[in-house]
Amino acid sequence: MGIDYYKTLEINRHATDADVKKAYRRLALKFHPSSNNEPGSSEKFSQLGEAYEVLSDPRKKATYDRFGEEGLKGGIPLEYASGGAWSSKYVYHANPEKTFRQFFGGNNPFADFYTNDVPMQLGGLQPGMVKTQDAPIERDLHLSLDDLFHGCTKKIKISRRVMNEDGHTSSIKDKILSIEVKPGWREGTRVIFSKEGDQGPNTIPADIVFIVREKDHRLFKRKHNDLICTLNISLEMALTGFSVDVQTLDGRLLCVPINEIVHPAYEKVLTGEGMPFFQDSSQRGNLIISFNIQFPEKLSAERKQLIKKALSLK
């Protein structure tokens, strides 16, 4: 069966991101070695760190939910890595204190923070302590080619820990982040929301970074600002000419005549019919049509003679 991360955090599989954080906060404080000397508490504390690290990350969680611990830690083929799944082999760093510090903030996790709006009197803010910022929180933003062609607005709800007005207690609150996708954005474009991570008394909230990931399109593949589509044609069409209809991303139907002989390296280039340039959306790349020539599997002797005769004519 493998490790049940949900059971470790005492939540069900329908738990939200806020539920995961609440559960980890409660149990990590309960089983932290400095506050619990019972046998097995250190092992439980380590298990909590690993469970939180997996279930708080959408990609790791997606892989675990679908393929279990074996798929998460053994890796899965890229063709199955859809829906935000994690395709790399996951290895927990085995340092639950690191996970604990990153969650609560500060080098001394028990230095004046509060949980469930009730202060934990485990020490005060250390004089002269310099606040440090947590590492950026990176999340994939999956966008269709249509989204990247036209531009759009994506609204994403996050749950984070925020400090209350008294400056000492904290609570979990939801927030909607709005992303204005610009026409022409490419795979890997990074959208940064400064200091939108969890707040804490001894730490600067982490930046939240969304990284654009392009979804596959049924017809087009993108290469920089160009769009490439591959169409199947017969050998007869390749030798005698034809026309093809191509539906563009902006809804137009292009009727493209092909009068040349189509050889394996042949490409039809339609200038200015590709993706908009991010710097100047009035300019666009090219639409490149390539062809996959379907050869007949069998030919009768009579047909072979006819082809020989036709090709020998000058």
Q: Averaged in consecutive runs of 10 residues, what is the pLDDT profile of the chain (314 residues)?
A: 86 90 88 78 90 89 86 68 56 85 61 38 44 84 93 90 78 90 93 89 86 92 94 90 91 92 92 92 92 87 83 68
Q: Are residues 266 and 174 in the same domain?
A: no
Read off φ and ψ for residue 40, nearest 5 degrees: 90, -5
Element spanning 172, H or E: strand 170-181
Do the domain assignments include residue 127? no
Q: Are residues 239 and 204 in the same domain?
A: no
Do the domain assignments include residue 290? yes
Do the domain assignments include residue 46? yes
Q: What is the pLDDT of residue 124?
A: 37
Secondary structure of the chain: what % helix, strand, coil (to 5)?
30, 30, 45
Q: Are residues 198 and 247 in the same domain?
A: no
Single-letter amino acid code for the residue at 234:
S
Alpha helices in the chain (DSSP H): 5-8, 17-31, 41-55, 58-74, 96-104, 145-150, 235-240, 301-312
Q: Are residues 83 and 18 in the same domain?
A: yes
Q: Are residues 78 and 1 in the same domain?
A: yes
Q: What is the pLDDT of residue 48?
A: 92
Structural domains counted in the chain: 3
Do the domain assignments include residue 120? no
Q: What is the pLDDT of residue 122?
A: 35
Q: Are residues 3 and 97 in the same domain?
A: yes
Do the domain assignments include residue 200? yes
Q: Are residues 202 and 240 in the same domain?
A: no
Do the domain assignments include residue 111? no
Q: What is the pLDDT of residue 176?
A: 92
Q: Are residues 17 and 58 in the same domain?
A: yes
Q: What is the pLDDT of residue 113?
A: 39
What region does 254 belong to: left with phi over 0, alpha with psi -120 to 50, or beta? beta
> For the segment 209-230, what is each residue's pLDDT rounded down to a tens digit?
999 999 999 999 999 999 999 9
Do the domain assignments include residue 109? no
| Residue 16 in tokens | 């939200």
Helix (H, G, I), strand (E, B) or coil at 6: helix
**Which of 104, 125, 156 delimits the end of a domain?**
104
DSSP 8-class letter at 5: H
Gap between the Cα atoms of 35 and 228, Å rounded: 61
Do the domain assignments include residue 285? yes
Q: Are residues 71 and 161 in the same domain?
A: no
Gap between the Cα atoms of 305 and 301, Å rounded: 6
Tell me which residue range forms the domain holding 308.
221-312
Q: Are residues 174 and 255 in the same domain?
A: no
Q: Are residues 32 and 62 in the same domain?
A: yes
Q: Are residues 203 and 234 in the same domain?
A: no
Domain with 156 in it: what CATH number? 2.60.260.20
**Which of 150, 182, 215 delimits the end of a domain?**
215
**Which of 180, 215, 250 delimits the end of a domain?**
215
